[in-house]
Structure 1
């Protein structure tokens, strides 16, 4: 800093970075740095005002403002110098907090100043409080201590000596350090900018409104931090930083990154006030089994956290955007940032007792979590700033508790594996996982049905195509076919393939197979013959049972075939040797395999009975309940809508297969048959609601796909009762259930009877409530395994480390989080979570944001292209007049980071569905994507509508960058551009083209083509 001539010079690198990010807009008071001094005693206000003037005179930067000249910030005198303002609150001291908050939240004007405000609040005759608010461009954490010490000295009457300039000008130091910094960051910069925190909702913005959680470390913990540091040879800062990195790792961040504020003062600059700080990222993955001692040693070694080492400390003056071309300046380089400051005891003010509040909250947030740590002589104070719009106060308080517990554990056990130490949330997660207290029901579906037939023989059991069967008639039909099957050698342990479309005959066939003690394997005649052939070859059934309508689709099969129609009752009925045992297989259902080969899931009777009995109690099922059966028999959820009414005295109303994809036909049939219960996937519900389905008094179950909030609201507003249910085929249909809307958005509820549901990290450890993990399910509902696939069964069904001996868990591949109240929230498939240019992206989040647009009825987003060349494509079904893709893109850009906005948005009439009624994402990914559509990026070359601006902007880039080898689609930052480059280009575009593009627009459109498009758009907007 040139203290003899502080004005008229270009801003420093740090000041320029702050100036640039401030001009991006939307930052509020994120750069305001408030602190306060409370005085008790006879305060001399005149002496205090004089002392402030002395401190400002000694540090002229406090009297500065910053204006733009040729796109660059220049330091100039403020329009008004900093002065002391007094507010007398002796008559109303309780009003002080409101005045403080208003003063802290009052924005600064960088171009006019002043950038330091001092307000004295007179609270009582002998009590006053000085509130100081400075803009970060002229102040940093260390400046607070310097300001207080200098103010105390000047108040005592001491003359403050002039400051010495640094021995080496800062620009010379930067030039010397830059080559080494580039080599260092080439090895250590990960580029990752996402984070996982408990309860974090969505993607945090760079800055926003904020709240704070503040706590002091107790004496025992602060002593443990210092003693552990001495024992391991590290400072309390390293112990603190390592603790936060390990906590983020425990939360599921594979390579956690924290943006760390590092002071950049040279020894001669320690007495200076100003912005002498640089935020740099520290990203380090903790290995499983690594001790805290080893982790801290590796942290210090890899990032050079010792004076003189080749690393952060040596290169702390070099902004990351100068060392790494692809990094763009921002208010926070990482979602979690840490500012750590040491201070000695505050200087004494002559004749006064003083208390200094070193870091008051400025009511803003930076990224997801901003950690302020002030290390004093006796204690450590921690403040966590956060945006309540993306994370709640209870979640932040839980994070604070987790950090304290982790620090305590590693301090007590520095030579034990960090991941084996006790961790808050583990016991709570296990307690909320549910309980599997038995081996399941001792009954089976055939026994439950027989009991119901005996209770209500004359009641209507099934209605299909205008005909109906009573319970007695249904029982007789089952016995007749069971007798034929028995005569064909079918019995306990047999597998019978059933090739039939949904209808009363197929229902009778399934129940007849179960009556014999065998397991049925449903096949759909409308599926490709090749698929059915593969399944039959894999399953090798003992018999294939088919009807006349299925016979035409019967593939070649190496098994006996039995053709049947509706059978006549057999004389005397059918008497099996014994009823099936609960541990025997009830059905085999084939699901898609990741290798392309379907796999057969074997579900036992006890698992099916457990589900049916739970939902009978949960729904209060009984006579008068009429269930719509509209699901394909090859989709496991069909079993609930077929069997639950039959064990409860209700009626099954079968939807003919040809009507199942016509929402209007389903709606008419439901109304004509006075249906009371309907189960469908969200895609199916959308179809039926669009077809006019009335839901007055109807109990609605939805599952099989993620339920969007707009659809949930639509259903909850119409249905008498709404349940969102979840479960894979391997855990018998549904494993959890949530009552909506009470359970909240995204809720899939809590486990059903005798079921456990764990949310685990990649190492199989429970994650704390609020964190994302993979769902593992245990209990009675678990399938036996995959037919003929012992290796696959062993891989997906693992020993349960939390249960009794012999217990198992099924790995679902689904992501979820468990709330503090135990309710689970679904978060999509693990394989629908993609990495795009280093960013972890949930496709479901993009779909949710699309559905928030009033002109979008349905939406799906897929990733297309090979690894490294992936791009996002969104498909939207309009609700009413179709919106343009540009409108939808603008809508998404307002709520999502640019990386998550699909490059192509296509409007289609309907989303393709598979036979299970779910969105067919394979079909969407196979659709051709037209790169020449208006919403796709322009091809290389000139842009016809922006030819003039393209040429002008090409020339501007050449002038600023000093090269002509530039393509109009080259990224400015890839060419070595940085914040000041952008500012210079912005100023020259304004001068040559008369268009003032906001810096955030240039930041998002950092190509010549993008800037030209923005210039044309702005010109058209102004002339409209």
Structure 2
């Protein structure tokens, strides 16, 4: 009611700003405003004397000129005359549109205006407005409450005793100053924290604050746009922290203090001109005395969902309030929350120096909500100029010209010099350019760890295109899907994979073997990529059921190469084996770093086994390794003492201290065991830590260390707040190695590639971590169901969706469970079936469409799925997939018993449960632990000459890994 008595002025308006990506037009907005106002007549009110009446005219929509910045726009200073128009909507159109909703405070408050603004966007989306047809004002609402004991006593007259936080008002100032700050996170007790901080910093430890309270809390069913806010007086005394202020505020709310009478009824009978003179006098007196009724008005306007302010191609990126000024009132602070953010704005009378003072107040508020020591971790001071700004294409060409005869690749195919590798790459590049392939094109690559594959990588990059590495072990259906999703016109293929159906369906294969003898034109020139051009696309598992392609740009790759070269001491003497699949992004470490430093890549075409790894460590001449913790664990089980190794880089999974310590003993004290961390979205690796047995020995897992050059790591809690050192938070990665995003998936980009409050673009990893006392990062788990299998990310939802594509399956659930007696987890599937089907058939179905590492260790068929009371599948009630072991296992011969004993040790399971038909994978074993089991079989049951014969049968073992089958092959090898 007090707003009725005010003179007309811009400061007496409430406003909300909606900023977003995407365009809106005046015509669209005008139609939506009219429909929303029809459903909420309170937004069409005008004043006739002492009465508010429905004008029947929708608020006007006008174009907003933001040339000088939004908060300085002249239209925001324009008074709204409630006798003619009490509400308006302003639009700053463009690819990033801004909408401002303004209304005279006499007809609405902040929450009411938000309610109506959401209705406008509801209409823009083609939905019906919810409307707000209540005609109650605040006095009528209060009088209608059935409150035992009557209303609380009136609050004391505050008087004018508090100095202004922004300094003395300038004589004659009429404009309103607004300043804004966005703070990361949503903050409990934010009002109390702000009050305590402002009192401590600007009020010598004490202060009074007016805190508006939404009267709608007493009538939750009420939909009203009316001005229904009344303030309580919150006192902060010397020595009070925010906890004391919060208790005092909660006590006021518990006593319904906002319902107290604001002024005697007789004042309503005072003529309006007299009331306006009184208010003007109060305001003039406050300005002259430089004293106000409190230190600040603190208005927390609740929370919004940005999805409520989206329509068509327009997606809101921020919603924030612009506050008001009243007679004798001080600075107004407004808070508004949205997921992961708190918007803070201040409003007061404009004047010289006020903006700087307002920013200082915002600094105080931000520090109270989000302490600087939490936001600014010393480990993120990683800025470092690149030693060379050229692309990897240019750097490799220069390396070839500098050392043409040096050996670049070695392996079963023999040694290949830099010049030979470069000629083959030129042939690939020329063939692609002849076919019109260039920047922006994605070229598939289906090849093994061979010379042709490495040449193809450099050839695609020299053509200016980007490559999509594919795993030859993946089923045709999977490869076809990836080639189609990436819109590949061409796929470079190595024999014998050219006969596979996947490269002939919708994609033109180019045979690498034929290009090996071709020659590029003598005047061939590399296409020099721009920093923002794509270098490669790699697919990872998707929680939506679809794999997603991560787009890595040349600038991302360049930063990683320069950091990795320095961090891992890669130079011309480095000889680094290529052990991982080309479709695994960590392969980039083995391909790029040695070749750009003049070193050598040692090719290992066969999948790693204990035999091939033993030959590699003993005979290849390698002096560095790049591998997963699982493979390092397997190497640690070999009875070897390799010499000459300088660096072992481990990435892809958590590195357990016991595995690192065993590797340190094995490779010697002069070899650095480096634990590298990084999701595909941050270009291979973005943190690293060198294992220290003395310092890390008491930990369970090896820390992931500190960020790479020009990269950052931020730890935020579930509400988006920066956590304190030592507390656990989700890792958000930023900096130069952050991927462009997901190929053709803007929905996932918005979900995973987000921005911090200061505008920093970051990637949400889903990995949980904390800062150790040493100042380094320790990764401690996941926030979701994602699991790592042999270094690959797997989303169980994608596996479940593939399982549901079998006609006998109505519903499927895939969960990750700890493996008995082993580190890490394995996947287990549960299928609700509509007809008889054997688990083996379902496993075969998945093997035909998914990579091997995504096929569950066991699939259990069910007649019903267990649910929690909330209607979700109760994963804890799903049956134990290993509980089906027979009570009386079939007898085993001596060889089978010996194999079973090895299995029991390898899997950490009860050997009495095993029988000849026990399946290694169904017991929770994965491919790496299977290799460890086979190594133990060779070591304990076979001689060295028999070992090779036995391991030649590895493909048949993978098809049927049972005790009986492994024992039979062992007997055959002995004979």
TM-score by length of 2: 0.46
If asked which structure has higher relative contact order (CA below 8 Å, sep 6+), I would say 1
TM-score, normalised relative to structure 1? 0.44
